[in-house]
Amino acid sequence: MAKNLHKDVCESAVFERLYRTLSKDVHNFLYYKFGADAEPADKTQEAFIKLWENCKKVTPDKAKAFLFTTASNLMLNTLKHKKVVLKHQQQSVPKHTNEDPEFIMRSAEYYERYKQVLASLTEEQRVAFTLSKIEGKKQAEIAEILGVTKKVVEYRIYSAFAVLKEQLENFRTK
């Protein structure tokens, strides 16, 4: 039984000898097992890169098993990824809504009218109303921000709400 003088495959001469003797076998193994579409040449190269990255851990007599196992695992991972991509592509995203075009048009028109009425409010009313109803701040917080009393904030919000109700049909807040 010949003694193995090399403890790992980190020496360039040992690695080169392994590449020359095993690369064709690894490629053929992948080609016959998975086909040409799975890019066996690329996976062969990746397996040798992994061998080089782990050269301190792999002895020359275990290198063949390491290469074949790594190459096979790389190929299986690629196939699993392709399967996930294919499944994702096959899932159709609904490109329609249950809302009729008339509803969508009326909603857009109502929103435009809402913006016009909101712009017609006084600045004090608009600021108090948007801080309360859009940003969700409490009346005490708004009073502190604006430097007025809570009663003034209540009046501004109420008066803004009254104008919006008067000028917009079916206006209500949540």
Its pTM stands at: 0.49
Pick the last residue of a domain from 71, 90, 109. 90
Confidence (pLDDT) at 174: 57
Confidence (pLDDT) at 20: 92
Total count of domains within the chain: 2
Claim to verify: residue 110 and residue 163 sit in the same structural domain:
yes
Claim to verify: residue 105 and residue 149 sit in the same structural domain:
yes
Domain that holds residue 106: 101-167
Pick the last residue of a domain from 90, 110, 141. 90
Claim to verify: residue 114 and residue 65 sit in the same structural domain:
no
Claim to verify: residue 86 and residue 107 sit in the same structural domain:
no
Compute mean pLDDT per 10 residues along the chain, 174 residues long, and list them.
Answer: 60 88 89 81 89 87 89 87 84 72 85 88 89 88 90 92 85 64
Confidence (pLDDT) at 154: 93
Cα dist from 128 to 79, 99, 114, 135, 143, whole Å: 59, 33, 16, 10, 9
Confidence (pLDDT) at 2: 45
Pick the last residue of a domain from 90, 112, 133. 90
Claim to verify: residue 125 and residue 151 sit in the same structural domain:
yes
Look at residues 71, 56, 78 and name the one whose alpha carbon lies nearest to residue 22. Answer: 71
Distance CA 44, CA 24 (A): 9
